Amino acid sequence: MKLEPEQESVLRSESGKAPSLAMKTLVEYGKSFGAARLVPIKSGHLAGTFGVFLYRAYYHILQQLVAEGVKVKVLTTSNPRPGHDFNLVNRLAMSGQKRLDGYLDALGVTPNYSCVCYEDANVPGLGDKLAWAESSAVQFANSVLGSRTNRNSILIDVCSAVTGLTPEFGYLLDENRRGRLLVKLKVNRMDASALGYIIGQKAVNRVPVIEHYEFNRIELKNMGGAMAAAGGVALFHIEGITPESPDLKSVFDGEPEDTITITQDDLDALRTKRPDDAAIVVFGCPQMTYDETVELAERFAGKSVNRPTHFYLIPEAKKRFLATDLCRKVIEAGVRVLDHCPLAGLMVRRESKKVLTPSGKCYYYLPGTDYGSVDDCLRTCGVMP
């Protein structure tokens, strides 16, 4: 790999031992994927925000960076916290949270604590190069905003944040952003999260191009999160909607490698036949935006839930929502309004077998969870006939 003189100097430990190790890690990472160089990034996003007490090696590395006074070189945001104060079990399992939060703060990481960082805290533009972790955020940045990032792992994300660099390979390069799989739709009741889940399973790591459909921003978020969980997809295009896909001719190099059709029956097959088995209903993975929350909350106003029901919001959206009269009505209906990642909180509580969710990502990762459309979930918690 060809390095710039200042990159060579960091590698030689002239800026300290920890930055040198970070640079060395990026160089080896890049070499293993055939990258020819390191390129500057506009921003970072870190996925390692769960203070699991066992993550001793992770804390050790962060401690080394902090001890040498290293700071992030670019705007760097952070994923949700894991519900460390949710209950006693979580407090014990996540007993490293305070320590971890302290390290991230000392490094200069923005404490937005959301996987939907692109909503307000970290909004990249078309063509910006990034080094983000968190597959749902990577997916949105690549697909909807037209920015360029690979699906980086925890610690690689830190190395990029403190050097301001990422190896140039994968989704940073034009040739890997072209469409490969054409997805046709025969759907009369759209369920974007279910669609994302099915596309993820079928596309695996190919770039899917979905034929024209007027998805809104919330659907794009939820569909992308599900697709990135059920498959290794980090970029999708929608004909005439997403920035790199004005039409099918421009997004493919010639003909698609493969064409699939997803039908209403495919979407419906993902929905559980026994939604009433759920002991808890969970909305918000990726976390809900303010507008998404308001839209959903209106369905709960003046009603009462018949089982525990959780809303998981972006922390900033939660702050704003808490100040509204609608929030008071939702809480009166029996809903818990939260701002952490549902996955960690519920997994640690071992309630996973009893969860019903309209999130394809939560369904994929939380063992034993059932999937339901938003209406299935509203019926199950008793606010819709």
Task: List contacts with ligand F3S (CB under 6 A).
Answer: 79-80, 115, 136, 225, 285-287, 341-343, 361
Which residue reads 């923005």 in tokens?
Answer: 110
The nearest distance, CB 287 to ligand F3S, in angstroms, is 5
The nearest distance, CB 341 to ligand F3S, in angstroms, is 3
Q: Which pair of tokens denotes residue 148?
A: 């360029």
Q: Are residues 131 and 38 in contact, defined by beta-carbon separation less than 8 angstroms?
A: no
For ligand F3S, which is the closer residue by CB, 270 or 343? 343
What letter represents residue 225's amino acid? G
For ligand F3S, which is the closer residue by CB, 15 or 139? 139
**Integer Cα distance of 52 and 40 in angstroms:** 31
Per-residue b/e over 189-207, b at no fewer than 16 CB within 10 Å? ebbbbbbbbbbbebbeebb
For ligand F3S, which is the closer residue by CB, 10 or 158? 158
| First vs last C-alpha separation in the chain | 62
The nearest distance, CB 11 to ligand F3S, in angstroms, is 33
For ligand F3S, which is the closer residue by CB, 231 or 342? 342
The nearest distance, CB 180 to ligand F3S, in angstroms, is 25
Report how far Cα 214 is from the mean position of its chain's Cα atoms.
22
For ligand F3S, which is the closer residue by CB, 187 or 374? 374
The nearest distance, CB 297 to ligand F3S, in angstroms, is 18
Q: Are residues 139 and 160 in contact, defined by beta-carbon separation less than 8 angstroms?
A: no
For ligand F3S, which is the closer residue by CB, 7 or 114? 114
What letter represents residue 155's amino acid? L
The nearest distance, CB 135 to ligand F3S, in angstroms, is 8
Point out which residues pair with 182 in neighbouring strands. Answer: 209, 259
The nearest distance, CB 125 to ligand F3S, in angstroms, is 22
The nearest distance, CB 348 to ligand F3S, in angstroms, is 13
Report how far Cα 282 is from the mean position of its chain's Cα atoms.
17
**Integer Cα distance of 43 and 124 in angstroms:** 8
Across the beta sheet with 75-78, the strand order is 75-78, 43-46, 130-132
For ligand F3S, which is the closer residue by CB, 341 or 377? 341
Q: Where are the beta strands (DSSP E) in the chain?
A: 38-40, 43-46, 75-78, 130-132, 165-167, 181-186, 208-210, 237-238, 258-263, 280-288, 309-313, 335-338, 355-357, 370-371
The residues near 337 (Cβ < 8 Å, ≥ 6 apart) are 311, 313, 318, 321, 322, 327, 330, 331
The nearest distance, CB 115 to ligand F3S, in angstroms, is 3
Q: Are residues 33 and 156 in contact, defined by beta-carbon separation less than 8 angstroms?
A: no
For ligand F3S, which is the closer residue by CB, 156 or 343? 343
For ligand F3S, which is the closer residue by CB, 167 or 286? 286
For ligand F3S, which is the closer residue by CB, 79 or 369? 79
The nearest distance, CB 144 to ligand F3S, in angstroms, is 15
Which of 218, 253, 67 has its CA nearest to residue 144?
Answer: 218
